[in-house]
Chain A
């Protein structure tokens, strides 16, 4: 146990995801020895993330303005919406440079254990977005229990829209991998989701 502010800082850092007690201690002492200007920049960044960041009122992604960069971009395909759980998933799909449509961030997945139901997710906002323009919804929730349940729920909600195609990301083998190293769950899914060539 260190005295006063140092221990306070270690405790605060230790509450961050992915930071254990050892890492928290290391970061704290690094900050203690750091240049005051560096600390100032960090302080600024922390302040701004709380004050300056808003959520896009169209898709729910983190944004610097009322509407995010992607939703403002006129080159984006308005007929496609990719539904993801978290803002970081938007980034993951963006990195592929394959997807030219727009996004919808749910803010999580159905998770009754943590008290998350449809009302806690941005599902109602998604339904209001589907006008005449949108022709396909791509559901890209995580391929785990909660993500799959959310996908099933969305499919039920969306199937009554006439002319709307609802798709789910394929799940299967990673590229560049060896078949023999795939775990049996992934390989089993890839088998059942196989396509003819």
Chain B
């Protein structure tokens, strides 16, 4: 698939911007702070209904405006769909497909698929487990939009159960008869999410290892493995029913601890993705360059997985060439050159390897000009 047209209004620094793309390579060049990333962020928002930079919608609205509008035309196997999103902080977003309103913004998920690699992705390797869980969950949702619902159900149960644990802790004798009920629901939704993540990790692991070997051929082999908060209680089989039983049993075992601390200690919200180079964990042992390459390999692994499974996503490389040495730039260029569409942002055009020749846009003083 490829993005043919992008229009934003009152999005981030942009009062208005209008870009027409083509399949293949497009490079957005402009000095820092000119709003290059804001444009690819808008595309990312259409693909995931979230930003890769901030957790809330408020910063996405141009200062002084009340709402932002992102409009994009996406071509998938010759068919063009027009997606419009109206982002109003504090309110439900509104979405339209081909000018017709849809009941839920969630319905636009899947029309545009992107894999975005940005400087923030270094946190995938060095940051908290939450970053890696988000990577997995975003991929899950891109693969099957249904998981957006599974995830929000799980998070809702988690919040309710957390509130219950806190109130039980506050008043020692509070009624804990409902805790069993919430345990059951947590285990059911949690098992569904957990099973999906385990499948995903099994599918993506070879792609990540291959991508890492390609980007950093001189380094040790990269491995990823899912680490469940079930610990030793983690079952051999990965069926949903087995996982549900295991979660339920573990919740029962740690109940005393949970009540004491007032937090949910077991479930996919406490899981992590282990990253290793050779025999050592990447976190703490990998060099700066290796960490970068690992983060890149995670994204490229996701890209490759989505590509072999069908609709080829749009590859977005936000400001990353400046961070890579010559060899790694070359390797990345080789992968990117094979993509149906790749959108690149860079502060200076010279950072982008020559192999990635295509459309060029100059981004300056609130304007985008095709050169």
- Report B83 CB to chain A, min CB distance, Å: 17
Partner of A148, one of B107, B177, B185: B185
Main secondary structure of the interface of B (DSSP, over half): helix
A75 within 8 A of B: no
Query: Which one of A112, A148, A152 has the greatest number of beta carbons of chain B within 10 Å?
Result: A112
Chain B residues with CB under 8 Å of A152's CB are 181, 184-185
Closest to B167 in A: A112
Query: Which one of A115, A118, A183 has the greatest number of beta carbons of chain B within 10 Å?
Result: A183
CB–CB B178/A153 < 8 A: yes
B182 within 8 A of A: yes
Query: Which one of B106, B153, B181 has the greatest number of beta carbons of chain A within 10 Å?
Result: B181
Instruction: Mark out the residues of chain B between 69 and 98 whose CB falls within 8 Å of any chain A CB in the assembled complex.
Output: none
Chain A residues with CB under 8 Å of B164's CB are 112, 117
B31 within 8 A of A: no
Closest to A111 in B: B160
Chain B residues with CB under 8 Å of A184's CB are 145-146, 149
Closest to A151 in B: B181
B58 within 8 A of A: no
Query: Which one of A111, A115, A146, A149 has the greatest number of beta carbons of chain B within 10 Å?
Result: A149
- Report B48 CB to chain A, min CB distance, Å: 17
CB–CB B156/A145 < 8 A: yes
A156 within 8 A of B: yes
Cα(A184)–Cα(B103), bound, Å: 13
Count of B interface residues, CB-CB < 8 Å: 25
B175 within 8 A of A: yes
Binary interface encoding of chain B residues 169-194 relative to chain A, with 1 for a CB under 8 A from any of its CBs, else 0: 00000110110111011000000000
Chain B residues with CB under 8 Å of A149's CB are 157, 160, 178, 181-182, 185
CB-defined A-B contacts under 8 Å, sample of 17: A110-B181, A112-B161, A112-B163, A115-B167, A117-B164, A145-B157, A145-B185, A146-B160, A149-B160, A149-B185, A152-B185, A153-B178, A153-B181, A183-B103, A184-B145, A184-B146, A188-B146
Query: Which of A's residues lie within 8 Å of B, judged by CB?
Result: 110-113, 115, 117-119, 145-146, 148-149, 152-153, 156, 183-185, 188
Query: Which of B's residues lie within 8 Å of A, judged by CB?
Result: 103-104, 106-107, 145-146, 149, 153, 156-157, 159-161, 163-164, 167, 174-175, 177-178, 180-182, 184-185
Given contacts A112-B164, A153-B178, 19 further A-B contacts (CB under 8 A): A110-B181, A113-B159, A113-B160, A115-B167, A117-B175, A117-B178, A118-B178, A119-B175, A145-B153, A145-B156, A149-B160, A149-B185, A152-B181, A152-B185, A183-B104, A183-B149, A184-B146, A185-B149, A188-B146
